[in-house]
Structure 1
Amino acid sequence: MNSRRWHGPLADAALVAVSLLDVWAHFDSTEPLRMACALVAAFSLLLRRRWPFFTFLLTMPAVLFSDAVFSALAALYTLSSHSRRRVLLAMCAVAFTISDLTSWPNPHLDLSEPSTLVTFGYTGGTAGAAVFLGQLVQTRRDLSLRIAEISEARDHERMLTDQTVLARERAQLAREMHDVVSHQVSLIAVRAGALQVGARDAEAREAAITIRRLSVQTLDELRHMVSVLRASGGRPTELTPQPSLADLRQLVDNSGIEAELHMDLPEGLSPPVQRAIYRTVQEALTNVRKHAPGADATVRMGTEGGAVQVTVTNSAPTRPALPLPSAHYGLIGLNQRAALLGGVVTSGPTPDGGYELSLRLPANSAV
């Protein structure tokens, strides 16, 4: 950015310096008018970017009255690189050629002499070269802009294509969730309801109630997720209300295991911290239910050194765990969530055969 900002002034200064060298090379102390015109032409190049045609006009007296013509050629090149009026450029090139061939205040132009024709061709070719070079730079600039526009349009088209593919995948995922997952969860809820009514054992009836309640909650969340997925590309859909610390008691009570909650946290924790605590406890209790049947759990929360400390500890299981599918994404998600908040999650077995999961977060974390 800085190099681009200084590129223009440095180029102008370089052109002025070369023009002054041209004036010095043709310096004649007996011709002050010619030297003054040449100096005006040299310093007028500082205006070439803002007023290219006016700058060219300021350089013409130097061509008429002196041999310092570099500033006029630079001005003609600048005008050609900014103007699209071909007739104007041709007239300026002709004006430069004729002015360079004459010598004021005593003009002398004899086209019958061969040397004059050679000089005319050389001068006209020099002016034409300045015009062609300016037009070439203008064409290159236009091509660069067009390429940038094409690249931007291609990126936009690629983004639209990606969005279309994503919308198609989300719609397919929504259909699968509705047709397969929701159907199976509904069957679980129905069978749990039947077990609740027909069970004679109080413990079995309580387990059926828990299964049915969790199935209904899961079904509601699935239906909302399906509606969110199907809303892809349309008006944004509100997400399910996010949990907070106020929901922890209900989470522990409805976990389906014997669990104790000891919470001593300050008020005013940010919503991201509260969600991280809730999801950590939820994942820990779910793992206890899956992998440690019959175990009880203890959930402790407090602050230590300006950080929130959450620990979920369970005892050893009293019966073998059922083989359930698991991709271990739960702990990975907890680690990622904690890392975003500047915290850390640790987990591992305890000496008595149980398991402990711990979360430590800065109390003032926010995302």
Structure 2
Amino acid sequence: MPALPVPAPLRRTAARAADVLRRAAERCQGSPRILDLLAALSCLALMGLDLPGLASADNSLNGLTAALVLAAGAGTLLLRRRLPWVPYLTALLFIGWLHELTLIQFALYSLGRFRGRRAAVLAVAGYLLYALLLFHLPGWPAMRAETFSGFLGLVVPIGVLAAAVGIAAFRQDLVRELDARRSQDAVHSAVEAERTSVARDVHDFVGRELTLLTVRSEVLAVRARGKPYEKDFDELAETARRAHLVLNDIIVHRGERAATPGVEGLPGLAEESGRAGSPVRLSVDPAVAELSPLRQAAVYRVVQECLTNAAKHAPGEVIEVAIAAEGPRLRITVSNALPERLPRRAPVSAGSGTASMAERVRGLGGTLTAVRCPEGYRVEATLPRG
């Protein structure tokens, strides 16, 4: 049965509604949910133009029922990003029941846009075979193509063009994402270049001071031969020499070999801290030895920075270090009491050690908290084991 003519006021109202929706879409390009809602409303507005014909062509529908059915079908477009096959199957139902071709255009576009070329081609093939079958069955409306050539000129372009536009939008999304990643890589490269420049400056200036400290300590050790504090000067010279070697290892020879030890180096850290006057009680879960080298290096660096901070701000206090594997997470806890008397001189500190620790831990998907509590100072970090 041919569709009833659409009244002019209804056409003007639908045109104005489509224009309003288009302007709203331009203002809300950054909100996917709003865009999906606008797509559903646009589809409903276009299908509303066929409402008089649908109500008269199917005796089971009146004007209100047809409007509700079309609204339900258009509502499936709200799922087009996560479940684009739902509006597609609904559109096929509408073709077989109501011979409505508007929803299938939105559904094919959504499949091409959010699932790519393969899904879109498969969906177009299914749509064409299904429509061709319905065309050869009794009841296909003349307004949707009275002859086979009319079918090929109307039904086929509707599906092919909608899917093609969706595929083009999908590729454009990929291009934009690639450009964003390239920009991000450029920023990372710039940051790495700046870090390299800073590292060279650190090596040049700090390395010079460490060299002078090493030489001066060795001279003082020679002058103190046979005296009780000769050993202290020897240890100071050895510490400065080792610090210079570590500086070279990190900055000059970075990348040539792994400079950061794993959990096997924690006892050495504890022993070194004890010699410096801050004894360490170390507890390490045996399962920690099974972690990847990257995570073991992170554990080592966190403990090393915590021991350094404790030696600066709470010299002489006992430091508790506990590393435990708790299910899929690894927990690092370092705590120490605070001294009753503050040091006569404030320790030299740039305040970036804790921030550096937190950045390293977050980079591996973990968390880090450092708080001052009545018992003293406590640092707690968690890392994923896998």
1:221 to 225, 250, 260: 250
2:372 corresponds in structure 1 to 347
- Matched position secondary structure for 1:311: strand
Paired position in structure 2 for 1:333: 357
Q: Which has the larger radius of gyration?
A: 1
Residue number among 188, 196, 210 corresponding to 2:239 in the alignment: 210
C-alpha displacement at 1:191, in angstroms?
0.5
In structure 1, what is the Cα distance between the partners aligned to 2:323 and 2:206?
39
Structure 1 residue 49 corresponds to structure 2 residue 67? no
Correspondence list, 1:1-367, <5 A = 4-18=84-98, 49-50=128-129, 56=135, 58-59=136-137, 70=141, 73=144, 92-93=149-150, 131-132=153-154, 134-135=156-157, 138-178=160-200, 180-199=201-220, 200-201=223-224, 202=230, 203-225=232-254, 227=255, 240-244=259-263, 246-255=264-273, 257-269=276-288, 271=291, 278-292=300-314, 295-301=315-321, 310-313=334-337, 315-316=339-340, 319-322=343-346, 324-330=348-354, 333=357, 337=361, 345-348=370-373, 355-357=376-378, 359=380, 366-367=385-386
Q: What displacement does 1:70 show?
A: 0.8
SS of 2:286's equivalent? Answer: coil
2:140 and 2:343 map into 1 onto residues whose CA distance is 101
What's the offset of the Cα at 1:308?
7.1
Q: 1:310 to 1:275 in 2, by over 3 A?
A: farther
* CA distance 1:55–1:289, change in 2 (3 Å): same
Shift of 1:187: 0.4
The one-letter code sitting in structure 2 at the alignment partner of 1:190 is T
Is contact 2:280-2:318 (8 Å) kept? yes
User: Alpha-carbon deviations, 1:141-166, whole Å to 9, x = none?
Assistant: 32232222123113213322332342
Cα pair distance change 1:222/1:312, threshold 3 Å: farther
Question: Secondary structure of 2:308's partner?
Answer: helix
Equivalent position amino acid for 1:163 in 2: D
> By how many angstroms is 1:183 displaced?
0.8
Say how many residue pairs are matched: 264
Q: Secondary structure at the match of 1:259?
A: coil
TM-score, structure 2 normalization: 0.53
Task: Name the amino acid aligned to 2:161.
Answer: T
Q: Match of 2:198, SS?
A: helix
* TM superposition score normalised by structure 1: 0.55
Secondary structure in structure 2 of the residue aligned to 1:324: coil
Q: Could you tell me which amino acid in structure 1 is paired with residue 197 of structure 2?
A: R
User: Structure 1 CA distance, aligned partners of 2:98 and 2:342?
Assistant: 94
Q: Could you list the per-position Cα deviations for residues 264-293 of structure 1 after superposition, in whole angstroms to 9, with x for gaps in the alignment?
A: 44422353886666444322321234335x
Residue identity over aligned pairs, in percent, reads 13
Any conservation in 1 of the 2:369–2:381 contact (CA below 8 Å)?
A: yes
What secondary structure does 1:181 align onto? helix
Residue 139 (structure 1) shift: 2.9
Report the Cα offset of residue 317 of structure 1.
5.8
Structure 2 stretches lacking a partner, 5+ long: 1-79, 100-125, 225-229
The alpha carbon displacement at 1:220 in A equals 1.2
- The separation in 2 between residues aligned to 1:11 and 1:69, in whole angstroms, is 16
